[in-house]
Homo-oligomer: A and B are copies of this chain.
Amino acid sequence: MPGSGSSPCAACKLLRRRCAKDCVFAPHFPPQEPQKFAYVHKIFGASNINKMLQELPFHQRGDAVSSIVYEAKARLRDPVYGCVGAISSLQQQVAQLQSQLAVAQAQNLCMRMHQAAMASTIVANTEVSPLDSAESSDENQQYKHVTSGFEPFGIAEALLS
């Protein structure tokens, strides 16, 4: 039980000290997970972790421990860049996605403009003289069907909703 004295927390066990009732490590470093404290001890040192936790209200310490463990593991895995390597890689991914999105949006714009031109050409070519209107009414109906049926953003809207 953490902080009971009989079964010291992972931190006190590693530091070979008595685990007091008010041990700052005990709620976050249970004896069942000895490696968790070993990571942060190796990178930040017990004294610094102690100070960091003491400076935070209790309800924020759990999140702080999680992020400190994450950082320590990243630094052990990559001693040169640590978790800054992940930041750099994510920043590259963001830049790549932004560029792909710009291309896709430019394609969209270009297609919209072309489609508008196509639609106006169809309309222009179906504007017949009154004398021809009786003959070409079937054709006009067909063009009307094509232009009024144009709803290219149906799928996109469905994805967004």
Contact = CB atoms under 8 A, between A and B. Distances in A.
Most buried by B among A66, A100, A119: A100
Interface in A98-142: 98, 100-112, 114-115, 117-119, 121-122, 125, 139, 142
Contacts of A80: 56, 60, 63-64, 67
A67 B81 contact: yes
A82 B71 contact: yes
A112 B111 contact: yes
Protomer copies: 2
| Chain A at the B interface: SS class | helix
Contacts of A114: 115, 150, 152
Interface in A129-161: 139, 142-143, 146, 150, 152-156, 159-160
A6 interface: no
Interface string A81-101: 111111100110110011011
A23 interface: no
A121 to B, nearest CB: 5
Nearest to A160: B103
Interface of A: 42-45, 47-48, 52, 55-56, 60, 63-64, 66-68, 70-71, 75, 79-87, 90-91, 93-94, 97-98, 100-112, 114-115, 117-119, 121-122, 125, 139, 142-143, 146, 150, 152-156, 159-160
Given A67-B81, A125-B143, 16 more contacts: A43-B44, A45-B47, A63-B80, A67-B80, A67-B84, A71-B71, A83-B83, A90-B94, A100-B101, A106-B156, A107-B152, A110-B154, A110-B155, A111-B152, A118-B150, A125-B139
